[in-house]
Amino acid sequence: MHMPDRVLTPEVWATLDVASVGLVGGAVYKTRQRLEPRDAPLMAVMAAFIFAAQMVNFPVALGVSGHLIGATLAAVLLGIGPAVLIMTAVLVIQALVFQDGGLMALGANVFNLALVAPVVGYLVYGTVLRHARGPASPQVAAFLGAWLSVVATAAVAGIQLVLSGYAAIAIIPGILLWHLAIGIGEGLITVAALQLVWKAKPEMAPISGEAEPPRIGRTTSVVGLLAVASVLALALSPLASPSPDGLERVAHDAGLAEEFEHEPILPGALPDYTTPGVEGEAASTAIAGVIGVLLVLIPLAAVVWLITWGKGQEEETAQDAA
């Protein structure tokens, strides 16, 4: 669901750039409030897992594919602020290195996938969890949150295309139809991943009737679990469906194929998740995926550590002063 270059007018993408910068700044503040320096590895490995999982497109129907967004998964486990930073880090690396989403559309992609998706997913999850009862309520809440996060993100992307004058408002029902189906895959994958994490770390599971993520605490087992999942996703990436995703399919049907297939303004070093000079599609994709994981993992861990650095000392000083 990544927007490429040249499908949005300067007025639209510039407005979304400004909005995204401000909202991501707010996410930095929320992340500092919620996390500790020791949580940097968990944030980084979560981002690595989402990056790797997004490389695996699954078939939906009629020559259309979809892939995990992962925003609801991150928001449920870590909170909205950390989820926004995780998704932003993934999107920046995808745009700069892999030509997945245009540089001019980066603000739009951050707004859609790093802001709309986790906020909608988490709000739906929290609302359902507060009102539902029963042992399966966390799973139902997570499924609905993930599913509707995909639908809401698709609707917002469609509105942006309409505002840019590239499509009539009639394009939106088609986008929603495909993403209602893609969202089912998102929901199932999100629930499966949460089940694994909650089983490995029961204290991270939600408390009945409460949507606020519990305090994270030590997460060695979860970091290891997500690292293994990332490796599995990378191993599956060469088997990803080559079919276009829902947004690309609807754009093609609406006569926007040329705009969506236009060369990006910034060529990526590893275009379309391939490694130049490496023979064999599977090896080329796998190597590009490993490089991408490292490019997401290491800088984000450093950023989170810098954001939260000194927090423990500040809290101790405040307690001593009281």
pLDDT, residue 238, reads: 82
In a domain? residue 244: yes
In a domain? residue 299: yes
Is 192's pLDDT higher than 80?
Answer: yes
- Dihedral (CA of 7, 10, 15, 16) sign: positive
pLDDT, residue 211, reads: 58
The distance in angstroms from the start CA to the end CA of the chain is 50
In a domain? residue 1: no
Q: Where are the alpha helices (DSSP H) in 65-219?
A: 71-78, 80-98, 106-109, 117-131, 137-163, 171-200
Percent of the chain with pLDDT over 90: 49
What digits encode the pLDDT tens for the residues 209-247? 565 655 555 566 677 878 888 887 888 888 888 888 888
In a domain? residue 4: no
In a domain? residue 74: yes
Range of the domain at 52: 10-321
In a domain? residue 5: no
What digits encode the pLDDT tens for the residues 135-190? 889 999 999 999 999 999 999 999 999 998 877 787 889 899 999 999 999 999 99
What digits encode the pLDDT tens for the residues 15-37? 999 999 999 999 999 888 888 88
Count of structural domains within the chain: 1
| pTM: predicted TM-score of the whole model, two decimal places | 0.90
In a domain? residue 147: yes
What digits encode the pLDDT tens for the residues 258-267? 767 777 787 8
pLDDT, residue 232, reads: 78
Is 315's pLDDT higher than 80?
Answer: no
What digits encode the pLDDT tens for the residues 263-310? 778 788 999 899 999 988 889 999 999 999 999 999 999 999 999 887
Q: Residue 110 belongs to a domain with what CATH number?
A: 1.10.1760.20
In a domain? residue 192: yes
Q: Which amino acid is at 179?
A: H
pLDDT, residue 322, reads: 47
Residue 77 and residue 90 in contact, taking contact as beta carbons nearer than 8 Å:
no
What digits encode the pLDDT tens for the residues 64-119? 999 999 999 999 999 999 999 999 999 999 999 999 988 899 999 999 999 999 99
Residue 65 DSSP SS3:
strand
